[in-house]
Structure 1
Amino acid sequence: MHATQAVGWFRIENLKNKFEPRIDPPPYNTKSKTGAGSVEGDDLNRLGYKQGKVSGTPGAINYIQEGWGGFRYEVNVLYKQNNGVVEGTWTISTTSSIKQKATSTYDNAFASHKKWWANFWSKSSLHVPDERIENQWYMEMYKWGATARADSPPISLQAVWTADNGRIPPWKGDFHHDLNTQLSYWPSYSGNHLEEGIGYLNHLDKNKSNYKRYTSMFFGVDGLNVPGVTTLEGTEMGGWIQYSGSPTVSSWLAHHYYLQWRYSMDTIFLRNRAYPWISEAAAFIENITEKDSSGKRKLPISSSPEIFNNSLEAWFSNNTNYDLALMKFVAHAAAELADVLNKRDESDRWKKLLSEFGDYSIDDKNVLMFAPGK
């Protein structure tokens, strides 16, 4: 797959006989009705799609698949065989705007592809005594470089490595904002890849109005929060409500706006994108929290991702350290950025908000707990 173009190339050499590639489409319409859990994924026939059709002419194969609500995607393969070598291209698109054109050759495309990767690897490196850790870093950076782009959707749960097993991806291959998307983009900053990492924030900004709709509808207050589990358009998908409906999702996402600014020191980004997101997330926390008898702010109900799973114990009447850390961060960041922008009144507002949160819960050995008493 080319590093910057929406086209893949293939070349097969030393062929003795005629070779014709084929498209093996996913089984959307089978008789099987096998169910499975979130990890294994359900059968594709549960989507209710009518099976698409493969057609072709010499040197070309086409597959069109109709989905739901007017959605469709198309797979095209173009190829030729000369002197025992088959060379061709493939594309997958959801619009007719991506069309294959014979404007390049395999060698030229591969050269520009390698040039992009050479530039990618020149941006950062890691050397540590443990070779396994060093090797792991390079493997993870490769996976990140293979998926993150400024103009592409953000990295989903399995990204491009979803198993090709004829099933719906685990957890539907959606966007989980309770750890998964956040950790996927940490390499952007210390790895010196802000250009690719900005795609994550482009996605969030694009869906901001949808997030604000959700915030008003679900929480009944002004400000900005993001569903913990979303579609590509940012619409809530549900799931374990402690996490899919967490009140501190936008506060964690605010950390990426903060890091993008700190590593770039781009004042235009700060003014037009980072501070608006962070301040609106802080305003939501200000609106959703209440003061207890000691004057400290707390959420009406709190949780910590994956702690006690989807049970009644997963709910806490006091702030968990997870929620508390995120609320403190977004208030602190909002105050810091307001100071940089000379918004003194707003800075004072966020500093006051920060001062109204209590301390973290620790045990008698000074070890962080999940929440008071836990």
Structure 2
Amino acid sequence: MDFDLSEEQRLLKESVDGLLADAYDFDARKKYMKEKGGWSKALWGKLAEQGLLGLPFAETDGGFGAGAVETMIVMEALGKALVVEPYLATVVVAGGFLRHGGSAEQKAKHIPGIIDGSKTFGFAQLEKNSRYDLFDVVTTAKKKGDGWVIDGEKFVVLNGENAQTLIVTARTKGGQRDKTGIGVFLVPADAKGVTRKGYPTQDGLHAADITFTNVEVGADAAIGDPENGLPLIERVADEARIALCAEAVGAMDESLKETVEYIKTRKQFGVAIGSFQSLQHRAADMFVALEQARSMSMFATMASDFDDAKERASAVAAAKVQVGKSLKFVGQQSIQLHGGIGMTMEAKIGHYFKRLTMIENTLGDTDYHLRRVSEGGGLLA
């Protein structure tokens, strides 16, 4: 199998890498984090100008009709630069719901705003006791005339503080852990009854806890079947996990480079510590862990096009397991080899470790996905 990028994909990689190299060094990132909402609207506009926000959307919707490989390329670059802008929440997650389940009217209403950078989204899914189970939903959506009334609470909604529109999972019938009776709804963030409490997360992003109290939305708010939305949710969640794996690979790649450069220059006993064989072995082990994660990230990217939902889910879960193990090892070794300076806010390497740790715990940690792989019978028949 040929794993080389096509000419168009190489040009995309060069383009996004070049943009972030010019506009997103560590000092610039710290400035962006201090802006309202925790990210740069100007940088978001540059991403839009380069067409990066429109990559996965069909040409008929104003996008470029790119696939999972292109998303992988962008997410790796975002991981390397520690980008805090809401690409995952808006383009990958919200875009995924609209692409796979949105009506023609919903696409026409929302996709142009994503592509030109004027609209961002938040995915309100996590609840107080749901952990990583997407079907564990207490928030309700009850019929009222042709529309719906939504009540409930959602937590750690990435970009929830800034989003103009929220994508909300809510139960239309059945019990808390039933796999049927779950709908997906588009809710304006400024709708009456929506209360948001924003805060920064450990990795420098921003999230919000959101309460919905008698929030009324129209019939056109439901994405797909409001009584059987779980398959759509699972598909989009798997695409988000694939994107997170790619982002982690980018962050690990840069972590390794930063660490190797540091041990080449840090001196002890009059010589660079990189000359010590034990530290060279650690760096070699970090490289192996990175390449294992990279291969599984590529496998998951290819699996995004699998027709069989069970096969796709098993592949994505396996990738999340390997990436989770690798990022923990690479992150911990990066801090260890940097010594005390790696624990300071001034050192870039600590911020990589924080982001990697958050990735490992987003949409299912390593243990959760190892259980998914086991329950699915493994990757090999």
TM-score band w.r.t. shorter chain? under 0.3
Higher-helix-fraction structure: 2
TM-score by length of 1: 0.27
Query: Looking at CA atoms only, which structure, 1 or 2, has the larger radius of gyration?
Result: 1
TM-score by length of 2: 0.27
- Structure with the larger RCO, 1 or 2 (CA within 8 Å, 6+ apart): 2
